[in-house]
Amino acid sequence: MNPPTNTKPIDPRVGIGHVHLKVADLERALKFYVGVLGFELQQRFGSQAAFISAGGYHHHLGLNTWESKGGNPPPPGTTGLYHVAILYPTRATLADALRRLLAAGVELDGAADHGVSEALYLRDPDGNGVELYRDRPKEQWPRTPGGELAMFTRALDLDGLLAEK
C-alpha cells in the first residue's frame, strides 16, 4: 500500500519523548546506562523497572524486566527495535560519550559521519542497538544543487572527535 500523498504533515513540534527497553537484568542495564553513559536514575520500581534521564526530565529511557527478565535478545532476522538514538547537544558532549565508552571497554559496532550528523553505534548489555549522535547545524547539512537533503555515510574520524574539548 502506498502512503497517501495529499496528507497534511505532522506538527513540526512533535518529538519522541522517551523509549522503554525490555532488559533481562535491571542492575546490568543500570550499570551501563547510568554507570557508563551517565544518565540519572529518576525512579525505580524494585528489580522490575527504572526510569532514567538527562537533566532531571521524568524519563528519557524506561528499562523494565516485565516481559524479559532473564531473556535473550531477539535473533537476527526478526522485527523489533533497530536502535534507540540518543541526541547529544554538542560535538564536545559526544566526544565525552566516546571517552566514557572507551574507558568502560564498550566496543563500537561502527562510527559514521552522515553529513547531517556524527554517530557512534553500539549494543547495550541486552543487545539493544544504541546510537549516540550529534546533529550539525541545519545550515551545514549537505544539499543537492536542487536543495534536497544529500545525506551520506562515511567513516567518522574518532581521533578528531576525541580531540574535541
Q: What is the pLDDT of residue 7?
A: 82
Q: What is the pLDDT of residue 119?
A: 98
Asked if the structure places residue 72 within a domain, the reply is no
**Do 97 and 150 have their domain in common?**
yes
Q: Is 151 in contact with 114 (CB distance < 8 Å)?
A: yes
Asked if the structure places residue 126 within a domain, the reply is yes
Q: What is the pLDDT of residue 1?
A: 66
Nearest-CA neighbor of 121 among 80, 67, 70, 158? 158
Weakly modelled stretches of the chain, pLDDT under 50: none
Check residue 122 and report its DSSP letter: E
Domain total for the chain? Answer: 2
**Do 93 and 153 have their domain in common?**
yes
Q: What is the pLDDT of residue 3?
A: 66
> How would DSSP label each residue in 5-74?
SSPPPPPTT-----EEEE-S-HHHHHIIIIIIS--EEEEEETTTEEEEESTT-S-SEEEE-TTTTT--PP
